[in-house]
Amino acid sequence: MLDVLAKSLLLYKLKQVIITRLIKSGIEKLLFLGKAIIIYGPRQTGKTTLLKFLKESTTKKVKYLNCDEPDIRNQLTDKTSSELRVLIGDAKIVLIDEAQRIKNIGLTLKLIIDQIIDVQLIVTGSSAFELANRINEPLTGRKFDFLLLPFSTEELVNHHGELEERRHLEHRLVYGAYPDIVVNPGQANILLNNLVNSYLFNDIFAFQDVRKPEIIEKLLEALALQLGSEVSINELSKLLQIDRETVMRYLDLLEKTFVIFRLPSLSRNLRNEIKKNKKVFFYDNGVRNAIISNFNNIDSRSDVGALWENYIISEKIKYQHYNSLFYKNFFWRTKQQQEIDFIEDYGGIIHAFEIKWNPMKEVRFSKTFKNAYPNHELTVVTPSNYLEVLCK
């Protein structure tokens, strides 16, 4: 019996895949500067695992507080600095996991930062909407923010190399890169459906101002089916039979819970540029496909172009976040249907990307765009060069 248990434990350990997160080194560089480190991100992206790695990589004494536990929540709720000092003891690093569950957490964190000297706070929260609202005012000027999303292409290449990651490209387009999916690709369908139904929807519906959860589901499905297209608030309002303000509020909620992000149009120089429209993308292809219940192979899909565009743009966003690059992101289109898929603006330098899954002929960038934005770089992203684009 003991042999069987020992073998089971060994097999379990062998299955543990340690993929280094890029923000880990960024966090370590900012330790003990007198500010809290706040790690946002959706559920199941590895925030708790990251805390454990940070704990194991330091020689300093660490206190880990899991706010899923009722007694831990009580120990951190409406406490004085003296009570918090007793709780922390002689620890030099305090890890607070799922901090959004604590009432008045911002004031608690402020007390620790201001009153307990030489203690480093590292705090995680699954919802920017909940956690940010509770800590932004109390922690003004007292925090560094990090966003942890699903694995990035750069992280996966660093882990197992370019050749292996290329072999997984079609799987990434369909199933995305949440940690559970990457580690257990054979169970991707089940894991994604569980992720969407048990975590994503539940977190969204938990907010008091979501009175009709079925509307959120219909909105997500509509956005998933319009992937890569410009989204009309008026059309969504008519489709869902709700007013424009409610549509905009729900879109904002979906952004703050890290399901989608919106890409505005670049408009600075030309009268005929589209000025106010936005495109909606999903942070993860797998979540998008789970919402519409479509895990078909790439060869049998009509939306492969949209999946490829969503994948590349979401990976560019991850790259920016994980490498602390503060770019402005856009798409570009004119009323004459001249278009560029993705644009990064960094310090006035415009880098434009055309994203093509299967380019049949040479891609030519609009002369109108080139003339309007002379300080530019142009790149066509295809399966043959995408790793170079996403890892540099």
Question: At which residue do the structure tokens 């979540």 appear?
Answer: 287
From 44, 34, 39, select the one nearest 23 (Cα to Cα).
Answer: 39
pLDDT at residue 18 in the model: 84
DSSP structural state of residue 200: I
Percent of the chain whose predicted confidence (pLDDT) is above 70: 90
Q: How confident is the model at residue 81 (pLDDT cuts 50, 70, 90)?
A: very high
Average pLDDT of the chain to the nearest whole number = 87
From 307, 323, 308, 324, select the one nearest 392 (Cα to Cα).
Answer: 323
First to last CA, the chain: 51
Q: How confident is the model at residue 236 (pLDDT cuts 50, 70, 90)?
A: very high
pLDDT at residue 130 in the model: 61
77 touches 109 (CB < 8 A): no
272 touches 278 (CB < 8 A): no
Q: How confident is the model at residue 6 (pLDDT cuts 50, 70, 90)?
A: very low
Q: pLDDT at residue 12 above 50?
A: no
Quick one: CATH architecture of 153-390?
A: Orthogonal Bundle (1.10)
Start-end of CATH 1.10.10.10 domains in the chain: 153-390
**Rounded to 5, what percent of the chain is helix, strand, coil?**
50, 15, 35
pLDDT at residue 202 in the model: 73
Could you tell me which residue, 228 or 157, shows the higher pLDDT?
157
Among left, alpha and beta (phi > 0; psi -120 to 50; other), residue 125 is beta
Average pLDDT, integer, range 246-258: 88
Average pLDDT, integer, range 294-323: 96
Give the torsion sign (CA, 130, 199, 222, 327): positive
Average pLDDT, integer, range 211-223: 86
Distances (CA, A) of 32 to 21, 23, 24, 309: 20, 16, 15, 40
Q: How confident is the model at residue 274 (pLDDT cuts 50, 70, 90)?
A: low
Q: What is the pLDDT of residues 85-111, one digit of tens each?
A: 999 999 999 999 988 888 888 889 999
Start-end of CATH 3.40.50.300 domains in the chain: 20-147
Quick one: CATH architecture of 20-147?
A: 3-Layer(aba) Sandwich (3.40)
Q: What is the pLDDT of residues 125-184, one digit of tens each?
A: 876 556 666 776 788 889 999 999 999 999 999 999 999 999 999 999 999 999 999 999
Token pair for residue 237? Answer: 């309002």
Q: What is the pLDDT of residues 41-68, one digit of tens each?
A: 888 999 999 999 999 989 999 999 999 8
Q: pLDDT at residue 73 above 90?
A: yes
pLDDT at residue 125 in the model: 82
pLDDT at residue 389 in the model: 95
pLDDT at residue 1 in the model: 41
Q: State the maximum Cα–Cα separation within the chain, in Å, rounded to a whole number.
A: 77
Q: 249 by DSSP, 3-state: which?
A: helix
pLDDT at residue 193 in the model: 93
Q: pLDDT at residue 15 above 50?
A: no
Q: How confident is the model at residue 270 (pLDDT cuts 50, 70, 90)?
A: low
Could you tell me which residue, 201 or 119, shows the higher pLDDT?
119
153 touches 284 (CB < 8 A): no
Dihedral over alpha carbons 22, 99, 314, 353 (to 10 degrees): -70
Average pLDDT, integer, range 15-30: 86
Could you tell me which residue, 13 or 16, shows the higher pLDDT?
16
φ/ψ (deg, to 5) at 63: -115, 120
Q: Count the helices and strands in the chain (H runs, E runs).
A: 20, 12
From 360, 195, 354, select the one nearest 284 (Cα to Cα).
Answer: 195
Token pair for residue 254? Answer: 């979906």
Distances (CA, A) of 214 to 114, 211, 217, 219: 44, 9, 5, 9
pLDDT at residue 103 in the model: 85
Q: 92 by DSSP, 3-state: which?
A: coil
Strand order in the sheet with 62-66: 62-66, 93-97, 120-125, 36-40, 143-147
From 377, 367, 280, select the one nearest 331 (Cα to Cα).
Answer: 280
